[in-house]
Amino acid sequence: MKKIGILTSGGDSPGMNAAIRSVVRTCLAKGVEPYGFYHGWRGVMEENYQQMNTISVGGIVTTGGTILRTARCLEFMKPEGREQALRSLRHIGIDGLVVIGGDGSLTGAMKLYQEAGFPVIGVPASIDNDIPCSDYSIGFDTAVNTALSAIDKVRDTAYSHDRVFVIEVMGRRNGFIAVDVGLSAGAEAIIIPEMPYNLMDISENLIQMRDKGKKSSIIIVAEGAAAARDVRDSIQEHTGFEVRYMVLGHMQRGGSPTAHDRVLSMQLGAHAVDLLLSGESGKMAGIQGRSLVATDLETVLGSKREIDLSKLKLAYHMSI
Ligand code: F6P
């Protein structure tokens, strides 16, 4: 394998740059030419790429976002789009691809492998941490810490004014961010799409807590479960308390990656190159416990990552 392509696709996540750097420098260490494609699959289809060297990835381990840019490319989801991408890859002479992204990006990688046998290895990167077969995906730890540092600040003002704050975090289909943020922030309630919730019960709990002397509270809601504003309206109506809401939004996707995300990104980037060079394909590089693993993309995409309900229970016990 002489030329390896790299792309980032889907929603950006902090640590993608560290992963790109790892892929590029591992390639260089092993005598392989690395090529970066811009704007995800679109860059492959349009042959928008650049040969990379050690300098092109200098100084990026500390930065969020992705120097290769990213996109959600709908054309690539169609067979004609993938045929176009294959023509481009063959024209440039790319022997294998490392695809860094979430489930949509990994689905594209799997199709390229299944339909044309093109060598691909996926690297899980999504702040949502909803990709199965790896304990962590790149960016989750940073997003949780970014949200947490914002919520810790809100706690100060909630306490000072005896207010309830409803804070919406990202996670359109799941509550992984909400659970870890809620537990670590000491939230009084966590609302996620995976669990039924009742705003009347939550309101009653808030009233009981206030009777016991707890005058301010934080409620974390995953965007996929409910809108913070609606939760605010309902709790305000039921309790009569002063309730404010806040949507953290895309700030959770940016910023300098934590040490955890940098180490993970470097390990998975290097592992992806090693897998390609040892002839593996159609797999996702992941981490389970302390071990680097490789799982068939078909298995990854056919599985579902379950929320750890014991964390929710723990958060509840911590709040009473
Ligand atoms: O999948 C990552 C994510 O940040 C989700 O948590 C969020 O719902 C979505 O992307 C937002 O996507 P976009 O940036 O396209 O609005």
Query: What average pLDDT values come out for the chain (320 residues) when binned by 10 residues?
Result: 97 98 98 98 98 98 98 94 97 98 96 97 98 98 98 98 98 97 98 97 96 96 98 98 98 98 98 98 98 98 96 94
- Residue 317 in domain: no
pLDDT at position 258 is: 98
Atom of ligand 1 nearest to the CA of 171: 6
Domain count, the chain: 2
Q: pTM to 2 decimals? A: 0.97
Atom of ligand 1 nearest to the CA of 72: 15
Residue 175 near ligand 1, beta carbon < 6 Å: no
Q: Extract the tokens encoding 299.
A: 């298995």
Residue 105 contacts residue 284 (beta carbons within 8 Å): no
- Residue 313 in domain: no
185 lies in the same domain as 153: yes
User: Of these residues, 128, 130, 141, 180, which one is catalytic?
Assistant: 128
DSSP label at residue 307: P
98 lies in the same domain as 219: no
CB atoms within 10 A of CB 319: 18
CA 11 – ligand 1 centroid, Å: 6
Output the CA–CA distances (angstroms, integers) from residue 132 to 127, 140, 286, 320, in the order listed. Answer: 13, 13, 9, 32
105 lies in the same domain as 17: yes
Question: Over the stretch 114-143, which tens digit does the pLDDT of each residue have?
Answer: 999 999 999 999 999 999 999 999 999 999
Contacts of 143 (CB under 8 A, 6+ apart): 13, 14, 127, 170, 177, 252, 253
52 lies in the same domain as 121: yes
Q: What is the CATH number of the domain that holds 267?
A: 3.40.50.450
- Residue 319 in domain: no
CA 138 – ligand 1 centroid, Å: 14
41 lies in the same domain as 188: no
Catalytic site residue 162? no
Q: What is the CATH number of the domain that holds 219?
A: 3.40.50.460
Residue 253 near ligand 1, beta carbon < 6 Å: yes
- Residue 312 in domain: no
227 lies in the same domain as 278: no
- For 169, the domain range is 143-253
Ligand 1, atom 12: closest residue by C-alpha: 11
Pick the last residue of a domain from 253, 270, 289.
253
pLDDT at position 320 is: 85
CA 159 – ligand 1 centroid, Å: 31
- Residue 68 in domain: yes
Q: Any idea of the CA torsion for 27, 33, 34, 36, to the nearest 10 degrees? A: 180
CA 161 – ligand 1 centroid, Å: 32
135 lies in the same domain as 149: no
Residue 9 near ligand 1, beta carbon < 6 Å: no
279 lies in the same domain as 160: no
Helical residues (DSSP H) of 69-121, grouped into ranges: 79-92, 103-116
Pick the last residue of a domain from 218, 236, 253.
253
- Residue 83 in domain: yes
133 lies in the same domain as 265: yes
Q: Extract the tokens encoding 205.
A: 């709990």
- Residue 314 in domain: no
- Residue 310 in domain: no
59 lies in the same domain as 133: yes
Residue 18 contacts residue 266 (beta carbons within 8 Å): yes
27 lies in the same domain as 119: yes
